[in-house]
Amino acid sequence: MRELEFQQQAAVGQKAIMTPIETRPIAGALGAEVHGVDLSETLERGAGASLREAFLTHKVLFFRGQTLTPQAHLCAAEVFGKPDLYPFLQGLPEAPEVIEIVKTETDTVNFGGGWHSDTAYLERPALGTMLHALEVPAVGGDTLFANTELAYAALSAGLQRSLEGLVGINSSEASYQGGRAAGIARIAGMSGAYVPEAQTYEAEHPIVRTHPDTGAKCLYVSRAHTVRFKGMTVEESRPLIEQLSAHITRPEFTCRFRWSDGAVAIWDNRTTQHFALNDYHGYRRHMRRVTLKGDRPF
């Protein structure tokens, strides 16, 4: 258990209460629960800096028992980056950057049900994502995370060299029959918020991505978004995409988070992938999400 180098100060009446903040790793590969933080409170400068440091260290942070209005959700997300609009769903009227992710009791398809990095099909993919659980199923609905930095480091030196300079073509339509907007519309809990006129996005990104803050090399390829490599056909590209995708999600590179009402997760999209498990048919799951503006991968 690693205690952060600060304490959060919250004013109660005329007194200031100092609450220790701790990070507790949940797996060897990545992920840590943060204790002693109320994300609905304005975090002082030192607290925000230390949370960002923990974010870079653990790659995904989890907070339990949080009560956040949409505006408070945005403020908490701003500790880690600048909130952005999601192109395929309309946000809340009072907070357009906040979208609702809902699977109803009658839905059989969920949102995010495959290993991926968010918005890899954009020229500037999301830096990160903050997800807040409002209602979770009695069983199931966990989210898996994978450390793409560890996955790259575990490759042989020869394969690492062969991947340098390889560029992936990422498409927003790769995982949705009839298009992403139409696929979202088939989820009853989200059909009222999808953007039917949303355009198709396609972007070229290096398969080996350098993290802009840490300098670490990470694999940036997935079955969900990468359709082929630049200069190669889909058929020629598919075997290596499959091989790398399977490698990234080996158990020793992953962690698993069991959601509870009020839980919050924020992950570094530049060095992780995630998978929302769809194992809770007949139950309702309601989340709110904010994505953070990112930079062009290099």
E strand or H helix at 154: none
Which tokens sit at 294?
């990112």
Q: Which residues participate in catalysis according to the annotation?
A: 116, 118, 274, 289
Q: What is the three-class DSSP state of 178?
A: coil
Q: What is the three-class DSSP state of 298?
A: coil
Please give the Cα distance from 87 to 105 (Å, whole number): 26
How many other CB atoms sit within 10 Å of the CB of residue 84? 18
Q: Is the dihedral of CA 289, 103, 281, 196 positive or negative?
A: negative
Query: 272 pairs with which residues across the strands?
Result: 147
CA Rg, the chain, in Å?
19
Task: List the end-to-end C-alpha distance of the chain, in Å, as a whole number.
Answer: 33
Please give the Cα distance from 101 to 249 (Å, whole number): 24
Instruction: Tell me which residue of 223, 186, 182, 177 sits closest to 109, measured CA to CA.
Output: 186
3-state helix, strand, coil in the chain (%, to 5): 20, 35, 45
